[in-house]
Structure 1
């Protein structure tokens, strides 16, 4: 059964503005995210898609201080919540904001959950720390959350370790942990990658149901176009640290405008494709983010590139109403922007 999400309110609940993220190694500086902006409203789902290494996870989890330990990183820009700018506060305050406003569902729940602790006490501790519950109330709340995410016999499962759960059950427990602090925004980083198709559909339906009940904003990091089509309201397409196309799902998936988005969608397997026929692929490889050049980063792989594309960075600009159902469909491509402005 399809769950209808709540109508998004007018004001964003979280906004990232002109974010730049540099990662440092002993010999190189990597521009993982380059001048990216996005926002999300209550009850809305924003999907962020792109190839591995495009900057999706760094852009989304970086401002929350959730990058792996040991990485030297420098942020510029803003990450605005109702409690202030996450990039302008201390680590302790950022942790408090993250715990109260954000819930995170990681790609691999087995590594995200503490393998040495039972599932239930991990949920209860989160509820005590950020929701202010007593020990007794936190245990009751944890059992309630396990039941809510579809885990059978939650009173028994409360005392189980993560390794005693199946992959789908661990992901449900991860969602319960993310909900324990009563968040306003749920960040889901490839939440269905390691799951089979049936369990994946169940997890997505669960997320949509929780969103409808709580009015959560969901930021979904994924490479699965099918998940985007069935889950998201808006989509942002990333390539080499930049957002190259953004808009309503209906606009971007039905009328992809940036050559990279077109290539990404063309490479998705189709049930009508004859057996043995070679799948469409985007030629070449993404650029080295430690030695970037001026201009559009997709130029070496682009079928529509002109010499001028290599000279300047195209801005993320709205398309004309002729090619889009809403004015929020934006693309970073000089060639496609000029085509959309041509008279019919």
Structure 2
């Protein structure tokens, strides 16, 4: 049986990160952006990575691909495997080649990812030439087809448009088309609906889901939008200050959260089925300064369940038995107080 005929839970991962540590350095500052995170994603599966801004979601996912901002020194440790190879030990040339064909990325800001000096179509065609080995004529047809598949009306006309001539929704669709031009095995969507109105957001999420279903690709959704998670995700990873707080099947995490931070995130989301936002509340306080982290739990100053030992003991991810599938949670206090079974 091939990987394409297996369920996501049974298939071999196409991207797996193990014990990843990422330190970022500037001339005046060092930051532990990711600290010991592990995750994987299989063909046909969507993994959502959620957390507040600055929690390390984008750095964790794109860092091993060498897609961090220029001007920042980076130290990566651990392992990040794709196509049987470790991205962290590859040469820059080999990493660039693998990244271009194996991974497609939908960036937060499509206008910054697309070359403003080039028309949309030729940018897509060039990607198809490079990574699919198509002739210029075939690549042009592929680019038009990708624009049409991404829901862009009159793709022949849009092929010859510059990025600034498209609306925000059309730009995001063009960005999706560009991400698919190399026929990747992993699609990383970094806040794909930011700055779009609700109707366009729903269309973009539906498009990503449709593409995944048709192509069987793995999707990593980086977001703080719980609504998007509920629509797309098979599994959810909750990240806080560079560490994994909770990870499990989406239906379990969203309907029966265990970690205090996960509970706080979900409690802060209004129930749009109600005419009021009664019952929602913000998580008190602010995330820790990741340039001066202490040894204990990083959520301790904002947690209503904190004990004195939480300040000195780092909580380890523990497998628990609750819900439809195995889950990992990094809060021994809740596990003990609520009698949640391990294993």
| TM-score, scaled to structure 2 | 0.95
Instruction: Give the drift of 1:207.
Output: 0.6
The match for 1:10 is: 11
Give the 3 Å change call, closer, same or farther, for CA 204–276 of structure 1 in structure 2.
closer
Instruction: Give the drift of 1:324.
Output: 2.4
Give secondary structure in 1 for the equivalent of 2:152. Answer: coil
Equivalences for 1:299-338 in 2 at 5 Å?
A: 299-319=300-320, 321=321, 323-327=322-326, 329-338=327-336
Instruction: Give the drift of 1:82.
Output: 1.4
Write the distance in 2 (CA, Å) between the matches of 1:126 and 1:342: 50
Write the distance in 2 (CA, Å) between the matches of 1:229 and 1:304: 27
Equivalences for 1:73-92 in 2 at 5 Å?
A: 73-92=74-93
Which ranges in structure 1 are unaligned for 5 or more consecutive residues?
none
- CA deviations 1:267-292 (Å, max 9, x no partner) are 00123666586840111100000100
Give the 3 Å change call, closer, same or farther, for CA 22–272 of structure 1 in structure 2.
same
The match for 1:124 is: 125
Give the 3 Å change call, closer, same or farther, for CA 194–326 of structure 1 in structure 2.
same
Structure 1 residue runs of 4 or more that deviate by more than 2 Å after TM superposition: 270-279, 339-343
The match for 1:206 is: 207
Instruction: Give the drift of 1:341.
Output: 3.8
The match for 1:267 is: 268
Instruction: Give the drift of 1:27.
Output: 2.3
- CA deviations 1:79-99 (Å, max 9, x no partner) are 101140111011111010101
Give the 3 Å change call, closer, same or farther, for CA 154–26 of structure 1 in structure 2.
same
Give the 3 Å change call, closer, same or farther, for CA 37–117 of structure 1 in structure 2.
same
| TM-score, scaled to structure 1 | 0.94
Write the distance in 2 (CA, Å) between the matches of 1:272 and 1:82: 43
Q: Indicate whether 1:249 and 2:250 are aligned.
A: yes
CA RMSD after TM alignment = 1.6
The match for 2:40 is: 39
Write the distance in 1 (CA, Å) between the matches of 2:151 and 2:271: 32
The match for 1:339 is: 337
Q: Is the 8 A contact 1:6 1:215 kept in 2?
A: no
Give the 3 Å change call, closer, same or farther, for CA 155–251 of structure 1 in structure 2.
same
Write the distance in 1 (CA, Å) between the matches of 2:253 and 2:107: 26
